[in-house]
Amino acid sequence: MDPHTQKDSPQHALDIARSTLLSPFELTEAQLERAFDLLGSHRVDDADLYFQYHRSEGWSLEEGIVKSGSFNIEQGVGIRAVCGEKTAFAYSDDISRAAIEEAARTTRAITLQGQQRRTALRAPTHAAAPSYAFSDPIASLAARDKVALLENLERYARSLDPRVVEVMASVAASYDVILVARLDGKMAADVRPLVRVSVAVIMAQHGRREQGSAGGGGRFDFAHFADDVLYDYARQAVHQASVNIEAGPAPAGLMPVVLGSGWPGILLHEAIGHGLEGDFNRKGSSAFSGRLGSRIAAPGVTVVDDGTLARRRGSLTVDDEGNATQRTVLIEDGILVGYLQDTLNARLMGVPVTGNGRRESFAHLPMPRMTNTIMLNGDRDPQDIIASVEHGLYAVNFGGGQVDITSGKFVFSAAEAYLIEHGKVTRPVRGATLIGNGPDVLTRVRAIGNDLALDPGVGTCGKDGQSVPVGVGQPTLLVDGLTVGGTA
């Protein structure tokens, strides 16, 4: 039977992975066990083989013309062995028995004595159900229709406001098949679709130019991007540009800041989420190290990382070590209750794995990473939160930012922001930056809205030179006292 006709399930993922990554190269599971025999001669603590097939495509439009298109295919295998804190790793873009065994011989240079014994490979017995369909998004829309999608985006954006002088639009899609074979005998696979559509506009008025952008995506195919979805992206981009072109200078100083729901959760991701990853805490370099069980946030603040959300950009059926993803509570009612763990850091810290071992590709080592990181709802009406502020800033959307993991200090730029005056949202402002400290911000949360929203599906997280897709989300928040760097 064609494995692609079966119902999506953990077994279906394994069937697709075997037919994509093993059978074409005449590889058997017995030959994978031979690689573990080579590694196991040094009795390592842990080891795995990570196979990946990756296909991606992208198209972009500028000045009314589709100016570029790209198509890429890559595949390979990474072999890792771990003893204590020491890791040996080799990879090859040649999936063959000879290449795998050569990589295993290279990897076995590790010499510390571990405890693990190899067992026969087997499929996982408690694998999670997939949270997305195993479809190939690249094949879901013909090339000419992808070009038409971009042209529609441009037409919608220009029709909304005559001040729009330039439109840039892009589509991107990828299809990944991964297979993980582990020294402990576990085998797991995942089939990962991913799409994204983006639009940016430049608006000109009285010699001034401002930009707005929008877009979205997730683990589905191009059928998601119906005309009403594309029109909404164009509307959001034009709205943001029109707000910024009318905006005055942002004030500066310490003031209350209301953060909008959804994408502003990127501040939570950067300023707090990275500090809750297991490697930083095992090494003692995080501002949250050694603080499990203590209050680190205001009452009512609950933060989770959830890799199981349906069709979300940051979701995975299994992580890149073959462990099922899960919903991990990190902060509960202001108390730090957990960290995000991969296999290595969980073993060294003596805690359970959370399914957060992620890697950019077969050529990279896994490390603890976020999936979809979310602050849960409170009980306040967002309008009541705004009405409670006499004078402050309302940050609806964010642009770029940076954070120091060790100290938690961050700087973020607001892409769309307004003044709050006497409890009402008034004038738009431009050039506002938020400056603060992640652990300190958590303690300054004074109100949590009941309007939890997830980001539209555009996030990419970088760490140690590796990039992976992620998601964020939060309700409207009032932070009592953030330093705003302005232009006034």
CA–CA distance, 480 with 333 (Å, rounded to integer) = 18
Which range among 22-36, 81-95, 297-311 has the greatest average pLDDT?
Answer: 297-311
- At 260-295, the pLDDT tens digits run 999 999 988 988 899 999 999 999 999 899 999 999
- At 348-362, the pLDDT tens digits run 999 999 999 999 999
- At 322-374, the pLDDT tens digits run 999 999 999 999 999 999 999 999 999 999 999 999 999 999 999 999 999 99
pLDDT computed for residue 4 by the predictor = 42
Chain CA centroid to CA 357, Å: 13
E strands, 307-444, where? 327-332, 335-336, 357-358, 367-368, 372-375, 391-403, 409-421, 424-430, 433-437
Would the pLDDT of 127 be above 80?
no
Q: How many CB atoms lie within 10 A of CB 256?
A: 22
- Please tell me the pTM assigned to this model: 0.94
- At 208-226, the pLDDT tens digits run 999 999 999 999 999 999 9
Q: How confident is the model at residue 2 (pLDDT cuts 50, 70, 90)?
A: very low
E strands, 422-476, where? 424-430, 433-437, 445-448, 453-454, 459-463, 466-474
Would the pLDDT of 413 be above 80?
yes
Share of the chain above pLDDT 90, in %: 81
When pLDDT is averaged across residues 175-203 and rounded to a whole number, the result is 96
- At 462-473, the pLDDT tens digits run 999 999 999 999
Do residues 445 and 219 make contact, with C-beta atoms less than 8 angstroms apart? no
Would the pLDDT of 115 be above 90?
no
* Of 41, 33, 34, 122, residue with least CA distance to 88: 41
